[in-house]
Structure 1
């Protein structure tokens, strides 16, 4: 099987690479969303609810990565997985909306992922 590779330029260093194969990391709570290298997902999602209108999921990841680096990564990589960027770090796919929020903390970046049915927006 061929592995696709996407390189994202980072002004602070070498390109960020994300392989689209079985070695790639994805969020456990939202399996269609890649997990950027350097981030660790919280073990238990803050919210995980499946309802007739669609899924409601809120989960967090954290790590020592820069906010701009995370922004560049997700804006470049998400379309490779069928997510359409509609504004900033807001994406849609198959009737769902994903919001990614970056929260700088003193020693780490916290990344909040919120998935909801697009119909609720």
Structure 2
């Protein structure tokens, strides 16, 4: 008798939970250390700031969530992770670069350096 594999609903919930909890930790760490980071030199702002671990947790949670979602609807496990892992790494790199750029703008000109009217 052949058994169909069960969809990984638990992994969807676990990935979402990991991403959300690490996101909350990332937010709290960023808020608590923003004043100290602005006093450091620009090239050392994100190094040793304590933001890497929560950000890495967010990336893991998102990767698990995406791969489980792909596995439920379309693919097998290996193909799902082969798609979601490079996509998560690429998006995480873009977000990290954008965060560095935003913090550099804040350091150079304060909150007035960010033109919020450009987004609307």
Q: Give the TM-score normalised by structure 1.
A: 0.26
Which structure has more relative contact order (CA 8 Å, sep 6+)? It is: 2
Higher helix share: 2
Higher strand share: 1
Q: Give the TM-score normalised by structure 2.
A: 0.26
